[in-house]
Chains A and B, each alone.
Chain A
Amino acid sequence: MKLVGRNLDKDGNGYITLVPEESEDMWHAYNLISEGNYVRSSTIRKVQTESATGSSTSNRVRTMLTIKVESVDFDTQACVLRLKGRNVQENQYVKMGAYHTLDLEVNRKFTVSKVWDSVDLDRVESCCDPAQRADVAAVVMQEGLAHVCLVLSSMTLVRAKIDQSIPRKRHGNIGNYEKGLQKFFENVMQAVIRHVNFEIVKCVLIASPGFVKEQFFDYTFQQATKTDNKLLLDNKGKFLLVHASSGFKHSLREVLTSPAVMAKLADTKAAGEVKALETFYAMLQSEPEKAFYGLKQVEKANESQAVEVLMISDALFRGCDVATRKRYVTLIETVKESGGEVKIFSSLHVSGEQLSQLTGIAAILRFPMPELEDEVDEEDSDDSDEEEEEKEPERDDQT
């Protein structure tokens, strides 16, 4: 992302103009733009014109439009951001108040005007930092199951999931098993070739329990030599074999924490997040009075300036009302003021997914606060009430 223009007053009110450069930037844009913001961007619109004789013709024109955003849609797999809203600046083609849906495009600038808070500004800053780019492809696999993922700095995309049943070895009939395994490897290899852009990707992690990774690696390069696949042969050095306990997506967490990978990805957000979450779990295990989750408890802890590391999922900021958002922002700001570290997790990473399920907010404290333990019940009951409500319609379905 490139920052091309910025005009803010002291309250943070104003506009920022950005140029997305890659698909991941759409994710940042998605997190920056919320309902009620004004977005200006170049777009294509079908315009109908009526001639003097009454015949109408329609043609597509490219025009600049400013809309007041009413809804934001993001497709995580295709990285497409669509903003729907009403036109607020009339031009020769589009009337005031007419609906339009903006598709943000790569390499076309867009301007967002709204009240910018510190979280937003941090995001703008971080996403415009070119040093933070580290593209890693990862294949987590076990016999019969593989996930081909792209780990970008702020999102993990599952590009392919290969789920295939491999016959078991059985007495006197090994052929089936080996054939099944070869076929499975072939599928995974094709997925890697199709989805991994070796020009961008720094390294390809192959993670599995047992020897599946070695077998797959051997198979891949045997095939590559056989078919003279330059693409794979040239990039052999980029492959890195790592241990993982299973082929499920959540094993990616183990992969990202392994020391060999950490060295390669030291400054990526993904690895940092995973590490912070691991620390949190470790703390919860060893000193449960120093690790808490849930907004209320963390806020309580923050009141006594106890928060050392605050982990918060970016999903919390999306689509919430101004008051709630303000509550989160204040929390983040006060933690920073008191010298704490704030990590905003991307909800598209495995660690972020996990944090989102863990109420989306967690903190490691400087000192134990056993008194907080007692307040658990009250908060959890709030949660469960909501869940109960969710469940009711399901029950109806069943009956």
Chain B
Amino acid sequence: MSLARILRPAVRSPRLYTPRTPTYTASSSCPSRRTYASQTPGNPVMEVFNRKTKHLQKDRAARNIEESRKTDYIKDEVATRLCERLLDIKRTFPQVLDLGANSCNIARALTMPDPDPDAPTGSSPPLSTRISHLTCIDTSEALLHRDADEPFNSQMSLTRQVVPNLESLPFAENSFDAVLSSLSIHWINDLPSLLAQVNSILKPDCPFIAAMFGGDTLFELRTSLQLADLERRGGVSPHVSPLADVKDVGGLLNKAGFKMLTVDVEDIVVEYPDTFALMQDLQAMGENNAILHRELGPLSREVLLANEAIYRQLHMQEGDRGVPATFRLIYMIGWKEGEGQAQPLERGSGQLNLKDLLGGGSF
């Protein structure tokens, strides 16, 4: 039997034939296309985190205003470091979006006096003077409005907007001159889609500058909880949410259409008196585990006790009084494509040898 004869029934079978006009291009078209499996309309969305849980965690955390403010140390620090990157862009920004604003930490950082330590005049105006209007969006009303009465609100033009979720942005194309985001997008389920949306709401040749937790953040807690779980209960349950890795971020930005990418990493190590203090602080930050298939209810007391002992043994340095916790931050800058934008030079067109310039030798 020839091959053609075997194939023929499949082509004729009405069940296997797609009645719609095929939309694929001629190069990939094939008269006997088989469609055994059908895909649901639209892109299926990968769900990792429970959005509702995260929303509740943020709301609950922010309702305890005192604790929530006390544990803003990382968010404030990262927002400040993120805003420092604006010093390198000599522009004014009429419309800026703060994506996932938490308690408007970016606005606070922008209004800080004298942000540029290397200013030739010795002092520099706050970054907020270059921004005409900042729109802060977040899902948690309580967290977003927590500091609405603080003095920084009157120092710049600022609106707060509560959105039902951060994964679909309610803005028109080409409406912002910069999009900033500090410590929020690590909770996004569909990062490729969000980045594509950010690219579309930016005006041409405008930057997206973001910081997120990544990779090895809280690796100490992750490992010691795994060991404690294993030894006490004989199995592992995810207690620390997964995070994107540095090496993925460049690809993600590229795929979303950003140009001239800059990605860099920074570790901040914080010392806590014990693991209980660490976990309490994470909770007060609203950064507790929100993975979809997490085990509900609190950690068992046995695991908590075992975790404390293992964490100390595994990660505490000799002579330290507290336990270290690493926060790995990924900073990213991507530019929307625009006319007249600086382009990278062609490969091999360099006139200077970097080795001569930097004084490198043999490695």
A and B interact: no
